[in-house]
Amino acid sequence: MLNAHSSNKQIYSEPTIIWKECLKVIKGNVTLMTYNTWFLPIKPLELNGNTLKVQLPSQFFWEWIDEHFNTLISKTIHDVLGSDSKLAYIINEESDSGSHFISKSSPINKVTEKTKQKNFESHLNLRYTFENFIKGEGNQLARAAALAISDNPGGTSFNPLFIYGGVGLGKTHLIQAAGNKILEINPDKKVIYLSSDTFTVDFVESIQSNKINEFSNFYRGMDVLIIDDIQFLIGKEKTQDLFFHIFNTLHQAGKQIILSSDKPPKELKGLDDRLTSRFQWGLSADIQPPELETRIAILKRKANDYGMNISSEILEYIASNITNNIRELEGCLIKLLANASLNSVAIDFELAKKIVREIATDRKVSVTVENITKIVCSYLNIAENKIRDKTRKKEVVLARQLAMYLSKELTKSSLKSIGLQFGGRDHSTVIHACNSIEESMVRDPSMKDLVKTIKTQIELVSS
Ligand code: ADP
Ligand code: MG
C-alpha cells in the first residue's frame, strides 16, 4: 500500500530528504531485491519547483524503470510532493548528458540540458562511445582505425573506413562511437548516421515526392557520412547508383565516409563493382568474435553499468557458453536481471544455466529475409536474382510470393522492409503475396506441404 505523506509536503526543501521520503514509500511496495537493484542506485540531484531531478546509472535503467515501475513512481512522487509534481532524470554517462527528448506522457521526464543548434539530426546514439567499447584482439585494428579517423576525419588515408564482421560484434557501436567522438571534438561538423535500409526507404520516398535533388544535396553536404549495413544495398540498383555519386562527391571533397557490412567489399556479390572497388580505396578492417577474456571483460563492465551484483564464476560461465555474439552476452545479462528481479530470486548458477539455454533456443529461429530467399530459391530451383526482377513467370512469382510469405511469418521485418528486399517492391505487394499463399494453402494440400517442408528446412539451416 502507498503511504500518503501529504501533510508534510511543505517542509521538504532538500532533494535528498524528498527522495528519502519517496524511497520509504517505494520500499513498502516492492521486494527488497527490486528495491536494491532499481531504486537504491538512483541519486537525487535538485528540486526545481515541483520537479525532482534524479540521476540514473544508464539508459537501460531508465527504460526498465519506466516500463515496470512507472505507476509506482508517479503515485509516490504525487504523494510526497503534491499532485502536479514530476520526476525528471538524467543519465550518468559522461557522454550522455547532452540533449534529450522530453516525453510528455510520462511522469518521469528526461531533462533537456542543452539543445543542439542544428537543423538536422545526426541520429547518433550517445550510448555508443569509445570509452565503453571494450578493446580486444578481435576488434583491435577496427577500433584503432576508428579512433584515428575521429581525430582527423577525412584527413587520413582511411577513407572510406570500411568495418565488417558478423552479427552483434560491435560494428554499429564502433562506427557510431567515431561519429560521437568527431562531434565531441568539433560540434559544428555535419555528421550523419543511418542504415542503408533507411537510406533506401528515404530515397524511394524522395522519388515519390519529387525531391530527389534535395535528398541528394543533403547527403552531399555532410562532413561525415556513416552508413551501417551497406550490404542491404544489394539488389537496389537505383539506390546504389545515387549512393555512388554521393560517395564520389564526398570523397573528392575530402569528407569522411564510414561504412559497415557483414562481409568484406570483395564478397559483396550483387553490389555494383564501381562501389566495391571504391570501398577498397581506404581501409577495410574486420571485427572478429571476442576471445574469452574479452567476453568476460565485456560482461563485467555491463553488469556494473546495470548496477548488478553477479559473481565472477557466473560471469565466466556465461562468457564460456555464449561465444560469438556480444549482443547475446548483453541479452543474457538483461534476462538474468529481469528474471531475478520480477520473480524475486537470486542470480545463481541455476538461473544462469536456464537463461543460457533459452538464448541457445532463441538463436535457432533467428532467420533473415536473405536466408529465406536463398532456401526457397534453392528448393524450387530458381536463380536468386530472378526473384528480385520484374519477371512474371509463374514459377518465379510463386517463389517470390513464398519467400515474402515466409519472411513475414518467420522474421520481424516490416512489410515495407520485406518489399524493399525483393527488388524494391511496395508493401501492398507483400500483403498480396501473403494472402495468395494463405488462400492456396487452404485450397491445395500440396501447397500446405510445400510451405511446411520449406519451413522445416529453414529451421534446420538456421539452427
Ligand atoms: P553489430 O552492429 O556488429 O551487429 P552492435 O554494434 O550492435 O553489433 O553490438 C551489439 C551490442 O554489443 C551493442 O549493445 C554494443 O554496445 C555491444 N558491444 C559490441 N562490442 C562491444 C565491445 N567491444 N565492448 C562493449 N560493448 C560492445
Ligand atoms: Mg549493427
142 shares its domain with 258: yes
| Domain end point (choices 269, 287, 305) | 287
- Does residue 133 have its Cβ closer than 6 Å to ligand 1? yes
What does pLDDT average to over the chain? 86
Q: At 90, phi and psi to the nearest 5? A: -125, 160
- Does residue 139 have its Cβ closer than 6 Å to ligand 1? yes
Question: Which ligand has the shortest distance to the CA of 305?
Answer: 1
Atom of ligand 1 nearest to the CA of 169: 3
**What is the CATH classification number for the domain harbouring 218?**
3.40.50.300
Strand order in the sheet with 161-165: 191-195, 224-228, 256-261, 161-165, 283-287
- Does residue 138 have its Cβ closer than 6 Å to ligand 1? no
How much is the pTM?
0.63
Tell me which residue range forms the domain holding 418.
369-460
Q: What is the pLDDT of residue 132?
A: 92
User: 132, 169, 173: which to mutate for ligand 1, most atoms within 8 A of CB?
Assistant: 173
pLDDT-based confidence at residue 93 (cuts at 50, 70, 90): low
**Cα 285 to ligand 2 centre (Å):** 15
249 shares its domain with 374: no
Q: Is 131 exposed, middle or buried (0-12, 13-18, 19+ CB in 10 A)?
A: exposed
283 shares its domain with 165: yes
pLDDT tens readout for residues 270-297: 899 999 999 999 999 999 999 999 999 9
**What is the CATH classification number for the domain harbouring 416?**
1.10.1750.10
pLDDT tens readout for residues 146-163: 999 999 999 999 999 999
Q: What is the pLDDT of residue 13?
A: 60
Atom of ligand 1 nearest to the CA of 174: 6
Q: Which of 174, 228, 163 is nearest to 196 (CA)?
A: 228
| Domain end point (choices 287, 314, 347) | 287
User: 125, 163, 169: which to mutate for ligand 1, most atoms within 8 A of CB?
Assistant: 169
- Does residue 168 have its Cβ closer than 6 Å to ligand 1? yes
pLDDT tens readout for residues 22-59: 999 998 888 777 787 788 889 899 888 888 899 887 77
Count of beta carbons in the 10 Å neighbourhood of residue 444? 11
Q: Compute the average pLDDT of residues 367-392.
A: 88
**What is the CATH classification number for the domain harbouring 297?**
1.10.8.60
> Under DSSP, is residue 210 helix (H, G, I), strand (E, B) or coil?
coil
Atom of ligand 1 nearest to the CA of 127: 16
Q: Which of 323, 285, 32 is nearest to 142 (CA)?
A: 285
Our CA angle for 59, 64, 68, nearest 5°, is: 155
Return all residues near 199 (Cβ < 8 A) that are at least 6 apart: 227, 233, 239, 243
For residue 140, CA distances in Å to 17, 107, 203, 414 come to 47, 43, 35, 35
Cell of 310: 553477479
Which residue intervals of 123-195 are DSSP H helices?
A: 140-151, 171-185
355 shares its domain with 424: no
146 shares its domain with 264: yes
276 shares its domain with 249: yes
200 shares its domain with 270: yes
Atom of ligand 1 nearest to the CA of 165: 3
245 shares its domain with 304: no
- Does residue 166 have its Cβ closer than 6 Å to ligand 1? no
**Cα 134 to ligand 1 centre (Å):** 9
Q: What is the pLDDT of residue 457?
A: 81
310 shares its domain with 379: no
101 shares its domain with 145: no
- Does residue 173 have its Cβ closer than 6 Å to ligand 1? yes
Say yes or no to pLDDT of 344 above 70.
yes
| Domain end point (choices 287, 317, 339) | 287
How many domains are contained in the chain? Answer: 4
> Locate cell 536463380: which residue?
383
> Under DSSP, is residue 46 helix (H, G, I), strand (E, B) or coil?
strand
Cell of 224: 561525415
Atom of ligand 1 nearest to the CA of 139: 23
